[in-house]
Structure 1
Amino acid sequence: MTNPVSYLPAHPQARSGPEHKAVPGVKHLIAVASGKGGVGKSTTTTNLALALASSGARVGVLDADLYGPSQPRMLGLKGMPDSPDGKILEPMIGHGIQTMSIGFLVDEESPIIWRGPMITQALTRLVYETRWDNLDYLIVDLPPGTGDIHLTMAQRLPVSGAVIVTTPQDIALLDARKGLRMFEKVNVPVIGIIENMSTHVCTQCGHEEHIFGEGGAKKMAEEAGTELLGELPLDIRIRTGSDSGQPILVTSPDSSLAAAYQSIATRIVSAISAMEAGDESAAQAVPTIVME
């Protein structure tokens, strides 16, 4: 297995300033974030990517949670990516999704013990030294919190927008608000909020219950002036699918669970299209100065 330290330059170059450089082969880059761990952000990322792909889009996933990569397992991928020239990595393909993760380059049980500059360099290389093949959307699975990786994303990558994943409980919403405010401060548009584990339906009796609280994400979206993209249930099929590398969008594409993810994906696409239309209108509104 490749030594993770060998993947980085010995002395990372100093950053001269914020720079948003286009990612070759990628049209739109969407960040999926959460303020708190354990809210189902990575599972949501995987199923959203598959939902977008089911509509005919070309989709990739970048696993930016370098300390705890999970996309290889969730997409049923093992092994190391090819690199014909020894420089550029070929993305692994899981269920039709182009995927890159530090998890492909280190042993699954090996901890990543890196400081900020090394993490920044690793993320930048994973983004720009992967041969993304004509993607409509590259979904970036961010780690919890608001640290070096998030700042690198905002300062160096052309992020079209961010999606915040939370659960209804107050402690998760508190951290989710921090994540949302972070994107606002670095001028990354927040597409909307997804409430995960919104309700639980008993598999024995069918009783539905808001075990983590009710309406928290909706209230948060209203306060922040953004959109509640959707509410996803706590369902054992989602969990088992993620653990086995067979997500619910693959095993049950016609189910109500799959439809919930597809509805959210549709809202995300609509929001990005509206942003693009707004940018075009703004550009057209700028008067042309003619020198005579």
Structure 2
Amino acid sequence: MSQSLHDQVHRILAENADPVSLQNLCDVVEVKELSVSGDRIRLALCFGYAIDLVKDVLMSRLGELFAPLGSKLELALSWQVKTAQNTPLDGAGKVKNILAVASGKGGVGKSTTAVNLALALAADGARVGILDADIYGPSQSLMLGVPKGTRPEIHQQNFFVPIEALGLQSMSMGYLATEETPMVWRGPMASGALQQLLKQTLWNDLDYLVVDMPPGTGDIQLTLSQQVPVAGAVVVTTPQDIALLDAKKGVEMFRKVHVPVLGVVENMATHICSSCGHEEHIFGQGGGDRIAKEYGVSVLGSLPLSMSIREQVDSGKPTVAADPAGEIADIYRKIARLAAGQLAKMASSNSGAFPKINIVND
């Protein structure tokens, strides 16, 4: 009987996809408990990514999947983010997973995507930080609504204390320089500044650190990719052909430095006229799908060209925080969960095998 129950759980996990992250269940779930007491069965599952906002959905869907185990099934769900990167961050702070958000060129909405993904991960319950790695043109302090002139506290004369904003731990060159002080630095100086911001910030036990990369594939990008344990990257593009060419370069760069590309986010995919409702692909159509197919990655999501996205981020309260129940915020949350699911799968692969199942007969 015990072995039969074990086999049933094993088969259900192996044969079904997680309805949220779309990964195979056995790649993102660990069985913490399988116990039998009379005719009652208790099954405790631990997800590898944060599930606070989707716990009820998962409980319902998984309840259906595991219903064959018995009518008196007690299902318990929890989550714990584990590290997907092979080596820990060599710095003052504690970070489990570094997620780079990059683009081949500027103007495609990379920073807006980065801050909304960070907010989406945090909304699901994870501890999240955001590092503005665009040394020359930092924008995250404005996007997070941090008052002008805010400076990070210095700890022991050597470490930065991250600034809390909208539930995120944040660090940016924008906190250390004024808008009237451009960073007139050569590449090695900028790369050194980035490493200092990353490694000398006292990140407080983060599940994810989202790094808003500068556009392109230059010194700063290579420094981060080669010298920092990045767990995965998300590449942002628009459907426009010229943007797609540069996005391909971004994907190729991460591949050459052995950083997994989790997928592509397609911004400004469509425009819907606010007067008549007509939908138009003004920057082209299907570009993200073409890149994804060429490089064997997935399209994590497509976002419209929307005035509200721009207005909300300019006002210091990005879409996920400003309109959490809205359709666009829902797209960002789905993108974040797909990325988090891939990182959970990587963490599971690093730890080894199929989850251990212990059966206890009371």
How high is the TM-score relative to the length of structure 1?
Answer: 0.88
Tell me, yes or no, if structure 1 residue 118 matches structure 2 residue 118: no
Partner of 2:257: 186
- Cα–Cα, structure 1 residues 21 and 133, in superposed 2: closer, same or farther, change >3 Å? closer
- Cα–Cα, structure 1 residues 21 and 248, in superposed 2: closer, same or farther, change >3 Å? closer
Shift of 1:26: 0.5
CA distance in 2, matches of 1:228, 1:281: 28
| 1:228 equivalent among 299, 303, 324 | 299
Matches within 5 A, 1:171-210: 171-210=242-281
Partner of 1:40: 109
Alignment partner of 1:93: what SS?
strand
Shift of 1:166: 0.1
Tell me, yes or no, if structure 1 residue 153 matches structure 2 residue 228: no
Shift of 1:279: 2.4
CA distance in 1, matches of 2:90, 2:352: 22
Tell me, yes or no, if structure 1 residue 135 matches structure 2 residue 241: no
Tell me, yes or no, if structure 1 residue 165 matches structure 2 residue 226: no
* Counterpart amino acid of residue 108 in structure 2: V
Partner of 1:55: 124
Q: Does structure 2 conserve the Cα–Cα contact (< 8 Å) formed by 1:20 and 1:155? A: no
Q: Does structure 1 conserve the Cα–Cα contact (< 8 Å) formed by 2:89 and 2:95? A: no
Q: Which has the larger radius of gyration?
A: 2
Partner of 1:82: 153
Q: Does structure 2 conserve the Cα–Cα contact (< 8 Å) formed by 1:20 and 1:156? A: no
Q: Cα deviations across residues 12-38 of structure 1 (Å, max 9, x unaligned)?
A: xxxxxxx97444311000000000100
Q: Cα deviations across residues 196-218 of structure 1 (Å, max 9, x unaligned)?
A: 11111111121111111111111
Q: Structure 2 unaligned segments of length 5 or more: list them.
A: 1-86, 354-362
CA distance in 2, matches of 1:167, 1:187: 24
CA distance in 2, matches of 1:109, 1:246: 24
CA distance in 1, matches of 2:350, 2:217: 27
RMSD: 1.6
Q: Does structure 2 conserve the Cα–Cα contact (< 8 Å) formed by 1:64 and 1:142? A: yes
Matches within 5 A, 1:19-30: 21-23=89-91, 24-30=93-99
Q: Which moved more, 1:112-121 or 1:124-133?
A: 112-121
Alignment partner of 2:98: what SS?
strand
Q: Does structure 2 conserve the Cα–Cα contact (< 8 Å) formed by 1:88 and 1:131? A: yes
How high is the TM-score relative to the length of structure 2?
Answer: 0.71
Tell me, yes or no, if structure 1 residue 255 matches structure 2 residue 326: yes
- Cα–Cα, structure 1 residues 270 and 113, in superposed 2: closer, same or farther, change >3 Å? same
Aligned-pair identity (%) = 54
